[in-house]
Chains A and B, each alone.
Chain A
Amino acid sequence: MEFKLDNSFNDNLALFKAEAEQNDPECAKILFDNLHLLDVTGEAAPGRAAIGKFHEAVLNALDALQKAATGDES
């Protein structure tokens, strides 16, 4: 994957998303559904707490994925 210099950030992010989807669409969905939790537009880089929240959301999404795969509706 190559980012294009003339692209906006969002355009390049879309390229990243497309590549991620090609590798693993379900994991890519989880990543992009929760990317906002990493708060990339804030003043500083996200801290450990933000990463913790992101992982919490990832874990929930992976649980849901597992339940869907086994047909468990609980």
Chain B
Amino acid sequence: MTRYFLGELAIEGFRGINNDGDPLVLRFKVDAVNSIHAPNGVGKSSIFEAIHFAIYGNVPRLKALQDAEQGDGYVVNKFHPGQQATIDLIFKSDDGTPDITIKVTRAANGARVVTSPSGRPHPEQFLATLQEDFVLVDYGRFAKLIDISALERGRSFASLVGLSRYSKLRQALDGARRTQNINSDLGLSALDVEVKTNERALSAIERRIIAAHDEVAGAGGAAIDKLAGAKTAVTSALSSIALLKPLVSSETVMDLDFDAAEKAIEKEEGGEARRKLDALTTAVASLSATTVADADVADIERLVGLAKRRDEAVRSVGAHALHALLRNALAVVTGADWHDPNQCPVCEAKGDGPLKPKLEAKIAQYDAAVELDAELVNEIATAAGIEKLRQLEEAAAMAIGTGDRLHIAFDLAAKKGEVATADLEKIRERLVGLEKQRKEVLERAQQEAATLQGQLPPSLVQVTRTLSFAKQFRDAVVEFEAAAPMLRAKQDKLKLLNRWKTFITGAVQSFADAEAALANERIAEIQTSCQDLFGRFVRGGPDVKPTLSRAQNSENVDLKLANFFGLQDLSARALLSESYRNAVASAIFLATAMKHSGVPRFMVLDDVTSSFDAGHQFALMDALRTLMRYGAVPDGLQFIILSHDTSLEKYFDKLNGTTDWHHQKLQGMPPKGRLMVSAQEVDRLKAQAQQHLNAGQIDIGAPFLRQYLECKLAQIISRLVIPVPPDYATRGDRRTLSTYIEAITEAVTLYQAAGRCVMSAQQISDLQNHHAPSIVGNFVSHYETGAGTPFNAYALLGVLQSIDDLAGCFTYIDPTNGQKKYYRQLDRR
């Protein structure tokens, strides 16, 4: 696989970098550690953020702002005339394939456009391949890795070791297999209830068919899977009745005109009494089939028990309304626009740790209560006792008015998920009462039927009864034949949904197991180098060995110390100091980055040594230079370090120009002025100053003049190794120039007094009597104090000349090539 280094970066109009028409250009060596130094406020973070914006399409600091703050509006430099940010990147391959250039533009209207001047197809996709956690690392990321929860660390770690796609897919699959999601999205739970209810209803219809068949055709032989035979038997029984034979001869019981049959019987005898007998026969059949068994009451008892458990779970966590409140609070504290993860968004009190895990634990308790509630609703929908109540309340023979039917309000409450325990207790009492009532009504109906049968001719009683049961048979068969195919379709669907559920559950588990094993393999792979690096970073520190382990069946990654002054397996987070925690984090990041084989082959580190003392800083830099740098080791990485640290600056200066180190310093006055690399841009500063001063634009030209002077003075100090007392560097910005000049002139005086100054007498005299006073008097004193005569363009052009003349005092003509060169030091060429 071709991998890429970052060869060059050009930025204009982005964040603190204005550079109108003259982008900040940074060139990087692929086989060296690249360091960039700048004092605070000059624009290092803008460089880091520009790379982040190019690769990820956002600036984390701005993304974290609240919507009302309109963070997006701060991507472009506020003073850039075109209100457009441009970031040009050149990526160099590690296998000789051509460079890739990418241009990312953020227009004033907010549009982000990514193009490739080198013709790379799909440049956005190319940038996406660079999105690895180790590519852009700042102090916050190091600090965070140790202090976050094991789960968050696990997810960060997955990303860090190139397993982020596995982690994301696993999370996605987890969501897809979650029972709650399957139940609601696929409707599995609802269908399950529907199928159970329909099955019970169909079973009742089956019983009605068999019972009616047995009454008409005689017991035995009927089975629901032999429905055709049952129909024939019932038809045949009706045909054997002389009165009905003419009506049945050409029909089956299913097509029989029952009205005509009843009229035929009425013609014989009976009339009203026969109709009543018919109704009583139906009532007796219906009531006999709805006996309330002990099991039905026990079923409702079970539901009451479940409801009480649900009540107890809800009571233990508090009011229902709190659930929503907690969920909203969780959304706030985990949102990008919440400023402090330890602060409660409701009462604004600050805790001693992140609120997220506490909220999640409380919400989990509520979820358990909600689960119990859902279970109760589900059980109610399929409960035999409730169904028996419905049947009895709806039975015509029971003569219960709609307004008195308890199940109507109860079904509504169940649908809303608002079933109260008291409602279920009422239902239990009602069912017991209904059974008593049912027995009484049944007894009455049986008595009335017997009385009527005594009054009517026996033959007619039998015919009426037979016809009544034949009608019940016909009606039940019609119901059965309509309901059975629908139920079958639902059963098939349910089977299919359960099959999917089984499949996805197994598949996700299988994926999760494989992913966990892979992560552990990767962890084991980096463990040794991580421990080795940590030992190097904290040289002289305690011999502790950080160990990483991923918990089984979860993404949690625990960070422990295998050896802490002889003690085993202790928490690194709890024991290590901030700097040591960061040393562990840097060891982990760097060890994992070294093992990575994806597209990016570079790592940008922004102020990552903030918590380190000088010794640890140098140890880290040394490890980068000698152990991890591409060039030092074949599988190494290109490092780009951004720093404001003054001790590191000296270290960078010392190594600059060697084969393994490339150091650049930034100078400038953001956000209005330009930001430049001092070594490359000093001549351009002079040209800019000249151009504006010649045009009489003093306000624009003067800052360039100041930058030019600063560059030249820094150049003289650096090239001639002029000692500058540390306190000079820490003085206020307004005094920087005069302290530089003072340091230079004092050093010359000192060397001259010692009789060792390499400068000519003329140069010393010009420096002390003309150039330095001219610069100080005409520019520096006014610039730093605001006192004296305001500048005019001619005076400033004179200062520009004096700056070059001052610098010229520190040069000589090389006789070998006639070129002007700086003295090596004040006492030698």
Q: Which residues of A contact B (CB under 8 A)?
A: 1-3, 5, 9, 12-13, 15-16, 19-20, 23-24, 27-28, 30-31, 35, 38-46, 48, 50-52, 54-56, 58-59, 62, 65-66, 69-70
Contact = CB atoms under 8 A, between A and B. Distances in A.
A52 B185 contact: yes
Contacts of B185: 51-52, 55-56, 59
Contacts, number: 106
Contacts of A9: 165-166
Interface in B122-173: 128, 131, 165-169, 171-173
A34 B773 CA distance: 77
A43 B499 contact: no
B503 A23 contact: yes
A27 B499 contact: yes
Interface stretch (B86-94, B192-200, B512-520, B734-742): B512-520
Interface stretch (B276-284, B399-407, B489-497, B743-751): B489-497
Contacts of B243: none
Contacts of B514: 1-3, 12, 15-16
Secondary structure at the A interface, as helix, strand, loop or mixed, is helix
Given A20-B507, A52-B185, A62-B493, 6 more contacts: A19-B507, A39-B172, A45-B172, A46-B172, A55-B186, A65-B496
B793 interface: no
A42 B171 CA distance: 13
A60 to B, nearest CB: 11
A52 B517 CA distance: 29
Interface stretch (B36-44, B175-183, B441-449, B668-676): B175-183
Interface of B: 56, 128, 131, 165-169, 171-173, 175-176, 181-182, 185-187, 489, 492-493, 496-497, 499-500, 503-504, 506-507, 510-511, 513-515, 517-518, 521-522, 525
Secondary structure at the B interface, as helix, strand, loop or mixed, is helix
Contact of B186 (A20, A44, A50, A58): A58
A16 B522 CA distance: 19
Contacts of A5: 518, 521-522, 525
21 contacts: A3-B517, A3-B518, A5-B521, A5-B522, A9-B165, A9-B166, A13-B169, A16-B507, A20-B510, A27-B504, A28-B503, A28-B507, A38-B169, A42-B168, A45-B172, A51-B181, A52-B185, A54-B176, A55-B186, A62-B186, A65-B496
Contacts of B489: 70
Nearest to A38: B172
A7 to B, nearest CB: 9
A40 B518 contact: no
Given A1-B514, A12-B514, A51-B181, A41 B503 contact: no
Given A38-B176, A46-B175, A56-B185, A24 B499 contact: yes
Closest 7 CB pairs of A and B: A55-B185, A38-B172, A27-B503, A45-B171, A51-B175, A3-B518, A3-B514
A9 B169 CA distance: 11
A12 B167 CA distance: 13
B516 to A, nearest CB: 10
Contact of B503 (A3, A24, A46, A54): A24
A59 B175 contact: no
A3 to B, nearest CB: 4
A40 B497 CA distance: 24
Given A30-B500, A55-B181, A59-B185, A1 B510 contact: yes
B168 A16 contact: no
A6 B58 CA distance: 32
B191 to A, nearest CB: 11
Contacts of A55: 176, 181-182, 185-186
Contact of B496 (A13, A44, A54, A66): A66
B507 A31 contact: yes
A25 to B, nearest CB: 10
Contacts of B187: 59
Contacts of A58: 186, 500
B219 to A, nearest CB: 37
A31 B489 CA distance: 23
A16 B510 contact: yes
Contacts of B521: 5
Contacts of A48: 175, 181
A46 B518 CA distance: 22
B172 A41 contact: no
